[in-house]
Amino acid sequence: MLFSAAFIPITLSVLGAVASPLQATKKSGISAALFNDLVWYFQYASSAYSASCPHPNGNTLIEEFTDSTTYTQGFIARDDTRKEIIVSLRGTSSLGDFITDAELLLENYSSPGVTPPSGVSAHSGFLNAWNSVAVGVISTVKAQVAAHPSYAIVTSGHSLGGALSSLAAVSMKYNFPKNAVRMYTYGQPRTGNDAYAYWINDQFGNQAFRSTHTNDGVPTIIPTWVGYRHHGIAIPCMQKAIIFSLNFSGTEYWQNPDPASAANTVECAADGEDPDCSASNFSLGIDLAHTVVCLEQTLRAKIMLILISQVLQYFCDHAFLQRLDPVTWILI
């Protein structure tokens, strides 16, 4: 999630290097069980970046999906041990995704099978991206629910995928009212207005988990003063060197400082915007906290290579190469 591809090398090499985790006041940590749970669902979010993942988290891959217009991608998996159907959505890894990220005007919420309360608005790019795959995803999940009616439905995603996971969870909740639905988001940018945030809290309670790394700039890159608000309560998760703060409906838990552990994950104020937790971070966009900590080294390299190739291909396809000046090339 970021507004300009040209900003990537700057944030990764300069801004990310100078950023340091902010210190939170002393608060209580979370349980090891919850911490491990967050790690488990992060693995689905990270798997969405892979070109192919035949067995996500060692489980059954039902379907991979993509939309050629919005570049929205993800997969649906089934865990017969935990009795869950998982919808995982990919984060920003193409030029099309950056265009989606940049469409930040709020628009009235509308999605197949969902009737929102009055006044609910969402990020237009995120909403359009989810709606481009919503009908197909709902259809596939419907077939799985028919075969496994007692299974819970879980959505997961990192970065842009986190915002889409939030929107997907709402769709699952309304289209499958008899099934338990949970969402896990990692490095999620603000996705909607106050009414959207309160709606999520009301619908999901403590089943909405919003996780952010200590000084990750993406969760705060869209400021509250343009009408956005984070939903939920927060709680942290970790995958090796991964440090997150996650949001529950009403209570935030922030991982700070390193190393990541349940003991170092603290409980914050319950409104999702605690000024002493992740909301205290000045956004640097996609910095090292968003990529280095969240993803394995090989996965980061793959994402950057894919992104670079996508950008160059876009310029070639649109005959932009001959019009780029030297400064533009340096930024890219």
Positions marked catalytic = 159, 216, 290
Helix (H, G, I), strand (E, B) or coil at 194: helix
Give me the helix-helix angle, 160-175 and 95-102, nearest 10°: 70
β-pairing, 233-234 with 73-79? unpaired
Give the C-alpha separation, 127 to 124, whole Å.
5
Q: How far apart are CA 271 and CA 274, in angstroms?
A: 7
- Joined together, the tokens standing for residue 195 give 């009414």
168: exposed, middle or buried (Cβ count in 10 Å: 0-12, 13-18, 19+)? buried
Distances (CA, A) of 314 to 28, 95, 276, 327: 48, 8, 41, 18
Exposed, middle or buried by CB within 10 Å (0-12, 13-18, 19+), for 315?
A: middle
Contact predicate 19/287, CB 8 Å: yes
